[in-house]
Amino acid sequence: MHPAAARPCIGKHAALGSQSVSLVIRAHGTRHHLHRQAHIQVCRASGQAYLFSSRAIQGPIATKIRSMSSTTNFPDQLLARNADWASAVATKEPELLKSSAAGQAPKVLWIGCADSRVPESVVCDAKPGEVFVTRNIANQFNPQDDNAVSVLTYGVQALGVEHVVVVGHTSCGGVNAAIAAASSAADGKKTESPLSRYLTPLVQLAGRVQTECSSLSGPELANQVLEASVKQQVENVVQTDVIQSNWKGEVSPLSNKVMSKVAVHGWIYDVASGKLKHVITKNPV
């Protein structure tokens, strides 16, 4: 039997600390009476298998190792990825972490959707400290939401951001839910839940768009509602006391300084292409 086709026999050995287990992998070949042994250390955090042997393990054994590592708890994998990232940054850009520890001075406040497919730092290739962020279902900015207004207040009056960007995205579950709720409301049906209460302004907006664009349905309707929502959130931001005070050049109560005047933008992220599209900008008046 060729070594690559050897049948694996895998046995667990005693745990080595809390982060790894040691495995002994044996490959037996009947024709040539092959016997190869390798000690494999599988990191529980990363799911990576580390080979401690002068001989490589291939074929079904390597496949078995990969299948074992794939069962690793994903949060542990994230911790391991972070450790790798931190190590790489400390080596390649040591000043980045030092400057981060000293404070932050972002130029942009990103108001985005909580959707896992739209991580602002990734899609904008941004570094830590460059973007101040708040995210929620369907990138809403409700003037009655203390959390949203608090983030805006701190970003503008304390950090001195110069741009606020509201970012919606295609295939948004919140937009689709709002359209469905608007249709149900038109049929006399109503649901009551924290999510439905939160989405009420968006549901109302979706209902208006449906009425105005009665010929649209499916993705076309969703994209129309999405764009209308982004424009509405931009207007909501502009009408806050925080932005109006900033545009008047008033002294910030958090910094005791007149801060840079803020421009408010609306963008849409296309999840299929990975690209951002400008929709609207409101400049200081």
User: Tens of pLDDT along 196-254?
Assistant: 899 999 999 999 999 999 999 999 999 999 999 999 999 999 999 999 999 999 999 99
pLDDT level of residue 190 (50, 70, 90 thresholds): confident
Query: What is the value of pTM for the model shown?
Result: 0.76
How many structural domains does the chain have? 2
Average pLDDT, the chain: 83
Q: Are residues 151 and 261 in the same domain?
A: yes
- Residue 32 shares a structural domain with residue 146: no
| Residue 278 labelled as part of a binding site | no
In a domain, 84, yes or no: no
The predicted pLDDT at position 185 comes to: 80
Residue 207 counted as domain residue:
yes
Q: Which of 5-9, 35-39, 73-77, 256-260 has the highest mean pLDDT?
A: 256-260
Whether residue 221 sits in one domain with residue 108: yes
Q: Which amino acid is at 5?
A: A
Under the banding of pLDDT at 50, 70 and 90, the label for residue 63 is low
End-of-domain residue from the set 75, 109, 132: 75
Question: CB under 8 Å to 102, separation ≥6 — which residues?
Answer: none
Phi, psi for 25 (deg, rounded to 5): -110, 125
Picking from 75, 109, 128, the residue at the C-terminal end of a domain is 75
- For residue 65, pLDDT beyond 60: no
Check the CA dihedral 51-57-58-60 and report its sign.
negative
Residue 251 sits in the same domain as residue 198: yes
As a whole number of angstroms, the distance between CA 25 and CA 119 comes to: 40
Pairing between strand 131-136 and 108-113?
parallel
Has residue 49 been placed in a domain?
Answer: yes
Query: Is 169 known as a binding-site position?
Result: yes
d(CA 127, CA 167): 18
Q: What's the whole-number mean pLDDT along residues 94-119?
A: 97
Evaluated on CA atoms 8, 11, 16, 18, the torsion sign reads positive
Distances (CA, A) of 221 to 34, 171, 178, 205: 66, 11, 11, 12
**CB-CB contact of 126 with 109 (8 Å):** no
Angle at the Cα of 21 from the Cα atoms of 18 and 22, rounded to 5 degrees: 145
Range of the domain at 36: 3-75
Q: What is the pLDDT of residue 191?
A: 72
Residue 187 and residue 270 in one domain: yes
Q: What percent of the chain has pLDDT over 90?
A: 70
146 labeled part of a ligand binding site: no
Q: Which two tokens stand for residue 225?
A: 């509602």
State pLDDT tens for residues 132-183. 999 999 999 999 999 999 999 999 999 999 999 999 999 999 999 999 999 9
Q: Is 213 annotated as a binding residue?
A: no
Q: Both 108 and 8 in a single domain?
A: no
Tell me which of 136 and 5 has the higher pLDDT. Answer: 136
Split at pLDDT 50, 70, 90, the class of 59 is low
Q: Count CA within 13 A, CB hemisphere, residue 213.
A: 18
Domain co-membership, 224 together with 275? yes
Do 63 and 112 reside in the same domain of the chain?
no
Extract the tokens encoding 254.
């958090």
Q: Are residues 233 and 146 part of one domain?
A: yes
Backbone angles phi, psi at 13, to 5 degrees: -115, -175
